[in-house]
Chain A
Amino acid sequence: MSERLVVIGNGMVGQRFVEALRARDTGGRWRVTVLAEERRPAYDRVRLSAVFDGVDADELTVHTPDDGVDLRLGEPATGVDRARRVVTTAAGEYPYDALVLATGSYAFVPPVDGTELPGVFVYRTLDDLAAIREHARGRRTGAVIGGGLLGLEAANALRLLGLDTSVVEFAPRLMPVQVDEAGGAMLRRYVEELGVTPYLGVATTALRPGPDGTVAALDLADGRTVDAELVVVAAGIRPRDEPARTAGLPLGPRGGVLVDASCRTTDERIWAVGECAAVDGVCHGLVAPGYATAEVVADRLLGGAATFPGADTATKLKLLGVDVASFGDAHGVTPGCLDVTFTDPATRAYAKLVLSDDARTLLGGVLVGDASAYPALRASVGGPLPAPPLALLAPAGGPGAGAGALPAAAQVCSCNAVTRADLDAAIAGGATDVPALKACTRAGTSCGSCLPMLKQLLDAAGVRQSKALCEHFDSSRQELFDLIRVRGIGTFSRLVAEHGRGSGCDICKPVVASILASLGAGHVLDGEQASLQDTNDHFLANLQRDGSYSVVPRIPGGEITPEKLIAIGEVARDFQLYTKITGGQRIDLFGARVDQLPQIWRRLVDAGFESGHAYGKALRTVKSCVGDTWCRYGVQDSVGLAIALELRYRGLRAPHKLKSAVSGCARECAEARSKDFGVIATEGGWNLYVGGNGGFRPRHADLFATDLSTAELVTLIDRFLMYYIRTADRLQRTAAWIEAMDGGLDHLRSVLVDDSLGLCADLDAAMARHVTSYSDEWRDVLEDPERLRRFASFVNAPGVPDPSITFTRERGQPVPARDAGHRRQPVVLGLPEVRR
């Protein structure tokens, strides 16, 4: 008979606790009910601000669905009756054998007049952020009360929402808890440069409304006034201990549910984890110690004897390129400790190490401007320095800062308490790459700041990290591209003979086919190249589930004449094809047999169409709105530009399919920001966005350049596409390619705009070659009897149609007969037979 466990709260720590318990409770000892206040399951509050960078809220979720857990969203606990061992909610009562409080904390709002005004927010939940975004619309000024970690994040968010932003901090410097005076001064310069105005060493005395009743200004204690039509209060957090308080449980001296090192309250059936728990009287407001309490209670509830190991208060903040990190005894409060500081006004880097009195043990430190040494330093706290102090503090760390120098006990991933010894054991156990290490140790799965160290540890252990494409080539796609280009290799057989082994496979062959096509090696079905093409490319059409193909003619920009519409309609009617408008403003014709493809192309080519390359890893469509030709709001000719771009890049083979769109104004009707490259018209020209995608993990494109002339725009897109084609991995979308790039978007900009690698002339020339050498692949096949011969259902019976392809009708159109292939026949299980 299992026991009943009730968890109050479904934040990051509550979720981690439930997962830890469920993973270890293999005997099914606990039946788990989770009562959650918010209506969405646990999400990554640490990355909350990412939603302002365009990350979808759903991407923040950390909740893993578990049928064994009764998760009750939007049902907060209203009381705990310890005598009856029952938790009450508005909906009912939940008896427990054990109760875990995971209620977290709430944002502290200081007692200042006016905090109840409309337009005043806290910065705590996704709902808070949505309300802030909504209120910011059409407003110009904002202010944040509180210049700590969260306050600066909130300030950056307001800045991204387009508000002139101020930060008011009572302490004389920003981030007073983490950073010392010199570090605070450096941080202030960065923050000011971002356009945020700091007011330091001054209290807010009141918030005042404007004529419309919403907040309009802050009064400061020194008599100054700060305009703010939106105010975020980020003055700290307080543990949510009401359930414990009302249930009569003892609290910590500064609030929080008082628990011992086993995270148990004075009631042996009640435990507390995360920010609401005052472990031995002290609350911890960071996720890493919260996770530690979750692990402790999961262990205890299954009969273990784990105790809270103490808190790592290391923090790292990144505010649009400004790194701030602090770890260990950052303020040097250890008696007799020594400081080593490094200030470089030129690069605006500040760093401080706190060492023991004999200068042998690292106690803590502060980094502002360049925090690349942070992972190694944090992991070294309490141990010897991994390198001489200056080598560590100089920007970029220096060679000695590698993870290879760390002691075994050093915590490499503090979010998940993974030590170097744990990682070395995983490597010895067969983990040979970063994903494997993440999977078996959980290191790098939270904030990700230790990921570079995982690579270094693999290197230090002598694990050669493979970039091999497949068993036939030790090279990456990029290396193969360069080999083929520089050595002028024109065939797969020569490439595999000189630089690979075996006879290739379904991974390397299409990659080489794509590279050869990008380098203009002739028609994709010429000679040996034909054998490399994946089936869609081999038949220049898209294979569907029943073995038939679909055909997509190019309709540049989505603009089509009535004559052409009629021609497509006639083809579809005559060949009895299922017809559907695609998501990319084209028309897809389904249900063609292999032997019908040339006949269909012939009709389409005669009507003025060409291949739409729907089959290839190639440019698909450039979608458009109607632009200023028809639209009341359009400011530029989006259709004209979309057609020009689609024709320019048609047939361009790439590591992944490419999509694009052009919107004629900021209303963005063409959804250009969900594309690999998107263009949005402004009054001053074109804005170029790169790295967006739809698909399984949608991502908005990032702004790359603004107010471009058409010529400038085309040049930048040329370079962007060619650089992507040359350097991306197999099947790597543009978004992942930019993310994986050292330096990311800034690096890309320096390469493509400032020509920092001296590549631009070469990229421009390569694109010019593509544009001038384009010819329609369908027409080329129709003109070549050799190639045409391949389009037969059966080599020994060219006139016989494939009998396995049959259709039924749905909504007046043909669709594949579901029982055409015998494997797909429906099997009826356990249904009563109907007697006739």
Chain B
Amino acid sequence: MSPVVTLDWMPVCPLDRLDLDRGVAALVDGVQVAVFRTASGLYAVDNLDPVGGAYVMSRGLVGSRGGVPTLSSPLHKQVYDLTTGRCLDLPGVTLTRHRVRCRDGQVEVRLRQEQ
């Protein structure tokens, strides 16, 4: 049974609830999303670790590799490019990204339909 995808912007939390460089998990239309605030902006990706199969990406460390903002899986440390979702350590592995913005001090997420 797959969740209903409405593709609406959903408020998640106030911006000041997000610590710099540290993620939170949110439930958006039944989908677990990991949301991050870094010096280069807001990012939202699937909370599911595509390699480890557990919902933990919100607990990964953010950083950079070659100037690109990155997120590492807390399970086995594969590193993902936050801007594309592409895994930088394993070819062919991708983390689903979602849209995220800040409106009136509220962080909002809209699920991406395409995989």
Contacts and interface: CB of A to CB of B under 8 A. Distances in A.
A820 B53 CA distance: 9
A793 interface: yes
Contacts of B27: 794, 796-797, 800
B53 A824 contact: yes
A504 B59 contact: no
Interface stretch (A47-55, A542-550, A754-762): A542-550
A333 interface: no
B69 A503 contact: yes
Contacts of A794: 24-27, 32
B18 to A, nearest CB: 8
Interface in B14-53: 17, 19-22, 24-28, 32, 35, 38-39, 48, 50-53
Contacts of A822: 53
Contacts of B17: 795
A336 to B, nearest CB: 63
B61 A505 contact: yes
B66 interface: yes
Interface residues of B, number: 41
A543 B59 CA distance: 10
Contacts of B102: none
A471 B64 CA distance: 9
Interface stretch (A411-419, A530-538, A769-777): A530-538
Nearest to A546: B54
Contacts of B79: 505-506
Main secondary structure of the interface of A (DSSP, over half): loop
A334 interface: no
A289 B66 CA distance: 48
Interface residues on A, range: 35 or more
A66 to B, nearest CB: 28
Contacts of A823: 48, 50-53
A804 B50 CA distance: 14
Contacts of A545: 52, 54, 75
Nearest to A533: B61
19 contacts: A503-B64, A504-B21, A505-B63, A506-B63, A506-B77, A509-B63, A528-B20, A531-B62, A535-B74, A545-B52, A794-B27, A797-B26, A802-B25, A802-B55, A804-B54, A821-B53, A821-B55, A822-B53, A823-B50
Interface of A: 471-472, 502-506, 508-510, 528, 530-532, 534-535, 538-539, 543, 545-547, 793-797, 800, 802, 804, 820-824
Interface of B: 11-13, 17, 19-22, 24-28, 32, 35, 38-39, 48, 50-56, 59-67, 69-70, 72, 74-75, 77, 79
Question: Which 7 pairs show the lowest CB-CB distances between chains A and B?
Answer: A823-B53, A821-B53, A505-B63, A535-B74, A547-B54, A506-B72, A795-B24
Given A503-B69, A795-B35, 17 more contacts: A471-B66, A472-B63, A503-B62, A504-B63, A506-B72, A510-B61, A531-B19, A531-B20, A534-B74, A535-B56, A546-B54, A795-B24, A802-B32, A804-B55, A822-B53, A823-B53, A824-B53
